[in-house]
Amino acid sequence: MKKVCVVFGTRPEAIKMAPVVKELERSPWFEPRVVVTAQHREMLDQVLELFNITPHHDLDIMRFEQTLFDITARVLTGLGAVFASEKPDAVLVHGDTSTTFAGSLAAYYLQIPVGHVEAGLRTGNKYSPFPEEMNRHLTGVLTDVHLAPTAGARANLLAEGVDDARIYVTGNTVIDALLDTAARPFRFMDPELAQTEEPGRRMLLVTTHRRENLGAPLAGVYRALKRILDRHSDTLVVFPVHKNPAVRRVVEQELGGRERVILTEPLPYLEFVNLMKQAALVLTDSGGLQEEAPSLGKPVLVLRDTTERPEAVDAGTVRLVGTDEEAVFQTADELLSSPEAYRRMAEAVNPYGDGQGARRTVQGLAHYMGLAPRGTDFETSKT
Ligand code: UD1
Ligand code: UDP
């Protein structure tokens, strides 16, 4: 059995790595060791609880209003010590957070092979999203085996000169997590959230957190939401507010105490997935939501100027609107006013995965390490 340290630290990494941890546990080749940096604390713990994962190591690095320097330095030092004692045969990191980059660097310093899950996403803009574009790019340079979710991600890696033999196209493991969670029994216990099930209501599900949107861009988005609520009396906003105090300040200022706006703490994934099912529209700057909502047939307005996830934009269910107040208002207003425009966007499409992402990820790693035959890649329309 080969020992693999599976490293993650934030909510989305945990959601997307949970199926990989389970698959490694089931596999005949690997003994997983779960190492969390806890770059997020409460938001990470919610996911660990849902998927019943007990970390072998917890660095517990989160600090109130931490900086990029804090995270990177603490993760690098902490993981260096864990890897030196565990001596794993490989390290798996995920995506594009500072945990991802510092984790791959720590493994490299100890000459441990690195597998990068959700490899190859790019906007081509160094500062958008910031610092995620550089985190994933730098991680890619340090990576030995690239687990790319889509054919488009593989194409990005090939364009940067990565050897095709080191790339496996897996499908995104977020769809594994989503399908598993969406199939679980659920009822809203919170009476406020249960309102979203009332007939005649149209619910707008909103999340925001990107560093480049903090301040004025977010204020513009929230003003657009208020105008939408004024224009459409059947609408209701549900907004689970990210724990980042810089997000909370603007949300409170613009939306606090407002009628038909439900501001909540970050929700457990099970509750959140069920809210997505109820939503008429999703407005978000999140990466993961751009992948999940299309498979539930929910139109997504992306509150960003760039996206590293073009597949659902090409399929027509995701629209890149940015953060300009007028653009957000006009786009949402059109979708809420025109059943035809709405119907065109509400097609369920699944360019990101089929629920087999974790299986292909583990098989790809096993093949790369000489333990198993090469499996079949996940196919997508975008090449
Ligand atoms: C981080 C990632 C981002 C990812 C996002 C997912 C980096 C630089 N950023 O951004 O790529 O898309 O997570 O949500 O890696 N906080 C809490 N409790 C929590 C989580 C956060 O209190 O459970 C507060 C803390 O004050 C913390 C702040 O939020 O200092 C910011 O957290 P941080 O991880 O630095 O940045 P995010 O914006 O969450
Ligand atoms: N999510 C959740 N509870 C919430 C908001 C989001 O479980 O209150 C999930 C969401 O379904 C997605 C992930 O968290 O899987 C997205 O996390 P986030 O937006 O923080 O990060 P990103 O995807 O932008 O990196």
- What are the tens digits of pLDDT across the range 245-293? 999 999 999 999 999 999 999 999 999 999 999 999 999 999 999 999 9
Write out pLDDT tens, residues 63-96.
999 999 999 999 999 999 999 999 999 999 999 9
Write out pLDDT tens, residues 133-144.
999 999 999 999
Peptide bond connecting 88 to the previous residue in cis, omega within 30 degrees of 0: no
Q: How far apart are CA 239 and CA 172, in angstroms?
A: 25
Q: Name the pLDDT band for 347 (thresholds 50, 70, 90).
A: confident
The amino acid occupying position 261 is V
| Ligand 2 mean position, distance from CA 9 (Å) | 13
Write out pLDDT tens, residues 37-57.
999 999 999 999 999 999 999
145: left (phi over 0), alpha (psi -120 to 50) or beta: beta
Q: What is the mean pLDDT of the chain?
A: 97
pLDDT > 90: percent of the chain: 98
pLDDT value at position 348?
A: 84
Write out pLDDT tens, residues 186-224.
999 999 999 999 999 999 999 999 999 999 999 999 999
Q: Name the pLDDT band for 379 (thresholds 50, 70, 90).
A: confident
pLDDT value at position 382?
A: 42
Name the strands in the sheet holding 145-148, side by side, starting at the edge strand that comes first in the sequence. 57-58, 30-36, 2-8, 90-94, 114-117, 145-148, 167-169
pLDDT at 185 over 90: yes
pLDDT at 343 over 80: yes
Torsion 365-111-99-36 (CA) sign: positive
Pairing of strands 114-117, 90-94: parallel
Q: Name the pLDDT band for 383 (thresholds 50, 70, 90).
A: very low
Ligand 2 pocket check: which of 269, 309, 352 to mutate, most ligand atoms within 8 Å of Cβ? 269
Ligand 2 pocket check: which of 46, 286, 300, 302 to mutate, most ligand atoms within 8 Å of Cβ? 286
| Ligand 1 mean position, distance from CA 38 (Å) | 10
